[in-house]
Amino acid sequence: MPPPRAWVVSVGSELLDGRVREANSHEVLSALIRIGMEVERVVVLPDRVEPLAEVLREALGRVDAVVVTGGLGPTPDDLTRDAISLATGRPLEQDEASAEAILSLYRAAGRPPPPGSLRQAHIPAGSRVIRAVGTAPGFVVEERGTRIYCLPGVPREMRTMMERDVLPELRTALAPRLGPRPREGLVVAGLTESEVAERLEPLKSEFPGLDISYLAVPGEIRVELSLPSGGEDHLARAGRRAREVLGRNLVKGGLVEEVARLLLGRGETLAVAESLTGGWVGRLLTSPAGSSGFFLGGVIAYSTRAKEKLLGVSREVLAAGAVSREVVLAMADGVRQRFGAVWGLATTGAAGPEPHHGAPPGAFWVGVSGPATLARFLQVGVEREVVRELAARVALDLLRRALLGEEE
């Protein structure tokens, strides 16, 4: 029996003009695959009624479920409800319970609801409401054997509704046809996507039926191995071989998690000095609970003067160029000494779009000072925010390797 099929649709003009990086569709896709569904299509659409209505008309009667995220807010360009209404022929009606919940939120905050806020309570006739996490409820429409789930585009709200409402309902409704493939996820750092594939693709001849998918995010490659149902032992052997060929490029759980585990396990402390990353490294390091057990603090030394005054980087070193091995290691050593930490970690570079102190856009150094001294240079041709995130994660990977005993 073939697995149930699904489409995933993300709605928002900001997703198509570069203002916002689209991430919801991957989360939804991964969740649907996790419960055993087959995702046939992923679509990103602008805030316009007709394109979404056209996709939905095509999906009706063809797939078991469509998950739509975005376009459920209170503003005139939030048009997902209108598109659902057009595609299914169901008029929009106000759901009184949702309307009262929205008004109650504003009453509790002591301010009047903004114009259009009750638009969020308008749903197609005959729909079932999915309880809101913020102000916008979701809803599900069943038409011609296809369930259309509409969720807000705010990632936290979407994620909660998927886990709390959508996935349990699909598991129950489609149980006879769900047969999840055994899967194993891996996180890789220090290699490009093509380098990871070069190492792992030969495993397909060694393990027939093995499927390998890759997702590149700045500084990490996330890999998923899967095999048809019933191949758990086969997958375990494939996973062991994958870990062998990846070696120290394999990250256990994630960069932040492994760095935290290693530092806590050794009882060692860390301080960071950031220039181009502007606090990104510190934000990542303080995301897991318990980070106060190893992270002492950091300095954002964006200017040359700050590097000299706050971190003790000498004028002579800075005169050679702020984006250099010498400067990044002096920053790492300076922050380590000032905080009394075992390890110091630093970043400096030119995020772009203009050159910085003679360094071209996308060029950066990361450095580690402590029981081991390591530095790494990269130059990448990507947008400013990607450079900053990549540099933060490359810095964490360099620290991870130092903690594992790697030398230059």
Q: What is the per-residue pLDDT across 266-298, written as a single tens digit (0 to 9) for each?
A: 999 999 999 999 999 999 999 988 999 999 999
The 3-state secondary structure of the chain, one letter per residue: CCCCEEEEEEECHHHCCCCCCCCHHHHHHHHHHHCCCEEEEEEEECCCHHHHHHHHHHHCCCCCEEEEECCCCCCCCCCHHHHHHHHHCCCEEECHHHHHHHHHHHHHHCCCCCCCHHHHHEEECCCEEECCCCCCCEEEEEECCEEEEEECCCHHHHHHHHHHHHHHHHHHHCHHHCCCCCEEEEEECCCCHHHHHHHHCCHHHHCCCCEEEEEEECCEEEEEEECCCCCHHHHHHHHHHHHHHHHHHEECCCHHHHHHHHHHHHCCCEEEEECCCCCHHHHHHCCCCCHHHCEEEEEECCCHHHHHHHHCCCHHHHHCCCCCHHHHHHHHHHHHHHHCCCEEEEEEECCCCCCECCECCCEEEEEEECCCCEEEEEECCCCHHHHHHHHHHHHHHHHHHHHCCCCC
What's at 323, amino acid-wise? V
Structure tokens at 365: 């150094």
**At 73, is the pLDDT very low, low, confident or very high (cuts 50, 70, 90)?**
very high
pLDDT value at residue 229? 57
pLDDT value at residue 148? 98
What's the mean pLDDT when you consider all of the chain? 92
Average pLDDT over residues 43-66: 97
Give the position of tokens 């649907």. Answer: 32
**At 76, is the pLDDT very low, low, confident or very high (cuts 50, 70, 90)?**
very high
pLDDT at 232 over 80: no
pLDDT value at residue 151? 97
Residues in Cβ contact with 211 at an 8 Å cutoff, skipping those fewer than 6 apart: 181, 225, 226, 227
- Comparing CA positions, the residue from 330, 260, 338 lying closest to residue 299 is 338
pLDDT value at residue 382? 72
**At 356, is the pLDDT very low, low, confident or very high (cuts 50, 70, 90)?**
confident
Under 8 Å between Cβ of 387 and 276: yes
In tens, the pLDDT along 307-324 reads: 999 999 999 999 988 999
Cα 167 from Cα 310, distance rounded (Å): 51
Q: What phi-psi label fits residue 312: left (phi over 0), alpha (psi between -120 and 50 degrees) or beta?
A: left
**At 230, is the pLDDT very low, low, confident or very high (cuts 50, 70, 90)?**
low
Cα 149 from Cα 140, distance rounded (Å): 4
**At 210, is the pLDDT very low, low, confident or very high (cuts 50, 70, 90)?**
confident
pLDDT value at residue 90? 97
Q: Are strands 363-369 and 343-349 parallel, antiparallel or unpaired?
A: antiparallel
pLDDT value at residue 214? 84
pLDDT value at residue 10? 96
Total-model pTM: 0.68
pLDDT value at residue 182? 74
**At 355, is the pLDDT very low, low, confident or very high (cuts 50, 70, 90)?**
confident
pLDDT value at residue 226? 83
Under 8 Å between Cβ of 40 and 7: yes
pLDDT at 225 over 70: yes
User: Is the peptide bond preceding residue 3 cis, with omega within 30 degrees of 0?
Assistant: no
pLDDT-above-90 percentage for the chain: 73
Under 8 Å between Cβ of 227 and 211: yes
**At 124, is the pLDDT very low, low, confident or very high (cuts 50, 70, 90)?**
very high
Sign of CA pseudo-dihedral 107, 108, 110, 112: negative
